[in-house]
Amino acid sequence: MGFRKVTNRGGVRKFIGKFPSFIFNKIIWYESRLERDFLYHLEFDYRAVLNVYEQACRIRYMHEGKRRRFTIDFVVPRKHKKQLIEVKYSKRALQDKYQPAFHAARELGERAGYEFKVVTELMIRRQPRLNNTKLLIYHQRTPIYPQHQILCHEFLREREEPCLEEIMEFFRTRSVDKSVVYTLLRWGVIGFDLDMPLIPEARVYLPGAGRL
């Protein structure tokens, strides 16, 4: 697939920016705040997402006797499937003018072994998942060392789902900054519920410790 440069041409003002991906070790361009928020989810899901290519697939199709083209926002190869992703606000995604393009993308995807999916703000901006994801990705470059993991096991193995505030206090008394705790949460060393607010009262646990 060829790559198309992200631009502000075409008479439509776009919120263009660069997402510095730590997981994929590259800059990923986006054309809207909604695309940017979607990239946070892809970055967080590092175990399943193998790579991300922006504006990488242009589809040509016929509609009402005219040749038309449609550029997919993201091509996302995952461990168990490959996806063509279009990011759209839900009201726009339902508009009739986009349906022929979506149909063409879906047909091309099926022939090439890709799933075509329209992702909207209803999925991307689900809270508190998005805020939790952004917070933890902000801290993901903080170095963690074996002694930090040892401290986790020392604290969590004897406690039944303590709260985040307690483990942060435990680390603080051992001169470890709270950013390390957030990083341990980000990499799954400390378990928590991504769909619950990551506040001081949030429950944390040791993954794989036989929770009921």
* CA-based nearest residue to 125, from 79, 90, 164, 172: 90
* 3 pLDDT above the threshold of 70: no
Look-up: residue for tokens 């790559």? 3
The band of 64, judged by pLDDT with boundaries at 50, 70 and 90, is confident
At 28, is the secondary structure helix, strand, or coil? strand
Tokens, residue 135: 């917070």
List, in order of start, the domains of the chain with CATH numbers.
17-124 (3.40.1350.10), 126-212 (no CATH)
CA-CA-CA-CA torsion sign (28, 129, 146, 141): positive
* 1 pLDDT above the threshold of 50: no
* 49 pLDDT above the threshold of 80: yes
Q: What is the pLDDT of residue 67?
A: 93
Whole-number percent of the chain with pLDDT over 90:
85
What does the pLDDT look like over 79-113, one tens digit per residue?
Answer: 999 999 999 999 999 999 999 999 999 999 999 99
Separation in Å, CA 147 to CA 79, 162, 178, 189, 208: 31, 20, 15, 12, 19
Cα 113 to Cα 109: distance, rounded to the nearest angstrom: 6
Q: What is the pLDDT of residue 106?
A: 95
Q: What is the pLDDT of residue 8?
A: 53
More confident residue, 212 or 169: 169
What does the pLDDT look like over 13-48, one tens digit per residue?
Answer: 688 999 999 999 999 999 999 999 999 999 999 999
